[in-house]
Homo-oligomer: A and B are copies of this chain.
Amino acid sequence: MSNCYKILNISTGRPFEVCDITEQVESVVRESGVLEGTVAITSLHTTCAISVNENEERLFEDIRNFLLTIASPEGSYKHNDLHLRINIPPDEPENAHAHLIAMILGNSETVPLHDGALVLGRYQSILLLEMDGPRERTYAVQVVGVS
């Protein structure tokens, strides 16, 4: 069995942002030499998520509107009562809505590998969703399979 593990970084520029990370994941897969197997992509944050969908600019706006309506940043959340929480850093943000959105999107996606390539449909991209930016974010890519 072969594998390849990488931690990758991305700088997000806005409070809510959808980032296409397909090429970065492809690079790790190529480097791994794995021909048949799977690649797992995971967020290392609780207010980011990993998803697979279409890279289309206007859809990205719909995604933002949809998710921020489901869990509004203006809502009332116990996690945002910072004065009632213990051991929090001085720059702790009010970001409960971002945690909730991250949970319904999911923290990981797995993509099959065949003949050394990501198995994705014509309109599919691997997306990292930022819900509490701008920030420096990290995500993990773990390739497992046979070379």
Total copies of the chain? 3
Distance between Cα atoms of A120 and B42 in the complex (Å): 9
**Smallest Cβ-Cβ distance to A88: which chain B residue:** B56
Contacting residues, chain B, for A146 (C-beta < 8 A): 1, 3
Distance between Cα atoms of A102 and B103 in the complex (Å): 11
Q: Across the interface, do B145 and A1 meet the contact criterion of CB distance under 8 Å?
A: yes
Contacting residues, chain B, for A53 (C-beta < 8 A): 46, 99, 102-103, 107
Q: Is the interface of A mostly helix, strand, loop or mixed?
A: mixed
1/0 per residue, CB under 8 A from B, across A51-68: the answer is: 111101011011100100
Interface residues of A (CB under 8 A from B): 1, 3, 5, 7, 36-38, 40, 42-46, 51-54, 56, 58-59, 61-63, 66, 70-71, 77-79, 81, 84-85, 96, 99-100, 102-114, 119-121, 123-124, 138, 140-142, 144-146
The 10 A-B residue pairs with the shortest CB-CB distance in the complex, in nearest-first order? A44-B121, A112-B142, A52-B107, A58-B78, A59-B79, A46-B54, A1-B1, A40-B110, A62-B77, A108-B110
